[in-house]
Amino acid sequence: MGFANIIDDENIDYIEYVKKDAHYVHNMPASIYAENAFNKLIDRPPNYSLYYFEIKYKIEEEKNLDNYRRIHIGLKNSENNYVELDITGKTIRFNFQKQAGLDGYIILDKIVWMNRDIIGCGLVYPASTDSNPYVFFTRNGKQIGNPILLNDNCDGFKPFIQLTCFSVETNFGKDLKVNPFVYDFSKHKFYKYSNFEKDLNELNQMFPLITKEGMKQLLLAKGGCKEIVLNKLLLAFPKTN
């Protein structure tokens, strides 16, 4: 039986079970959470607050296990609101509604993942009250996908990793002089969803039976991604010629 072995605060080795004969192979999935949460400050600071961590994932050259490999990285809180990057599934998934079945997702099918990629996950709390917090992901020092806007259910997120048949090295910034992040924060462009009101008005014009506040909550529930909301509404209210 394969399992994850936590070596220390920064390293997780996965002990793979390889099929040698006709016996069934079972490699156990593992979920590992950080001890401390990325908490929202009670008093908003004059500048943005940014939390971030990185992992380097590693796989052995055992091709027989490729179909078993899974790895997710992201943030989750005690109310099961989450944002995660499913690396093997090539998607960003999220749910802030405290209800199953209301997940949103963004497909990242153009990215070719490589062994020993360095993946980062960041959470930004803005300084002003008119901006939403957001989560972003990086790969080898470059941002990937769209930032995911959060709603009011965004506090108390803990970093987590879910893996099967992957080993990882983590970096939470314990000693950045010795082990700096690959992502350069000096080049981070703090994100403000300038098209939010525009997208909200356009969706309201297309679906006037939904109140503006209701549409706003739908848009926030889907990470501010207009295309996801539009596709969901077109399924629920198909246009007729």
- The predicted model scores a pTM of 0.78
**Is the per-residue pLDDT at 146 higher than 70?**
yes
The confidence band for 56, taking pLDDT boundaries of 50, 70 and 90, is very high
What digits encode the pLDDT tens for the residues 158-176?
999 999 888 999 999 988 9
The pLDDT confidence band at residue 126, using thresholds 50, 70 and 90, is confident
pLDDT over 80 (residue 137): yes
6-38 pLDDT per residue, tens? 888 888 888 777 666 656 567 888 899 998 898
- 119 has a pLDDT exceeding 60: yes
Confidence category of residue 147, pLDDT binned at 50, 70, 90: confident
- Residue 100: C-alpha distances to residues 14, 45, 87, 96, 231 (Å): 30, 34, 21, 10, 19
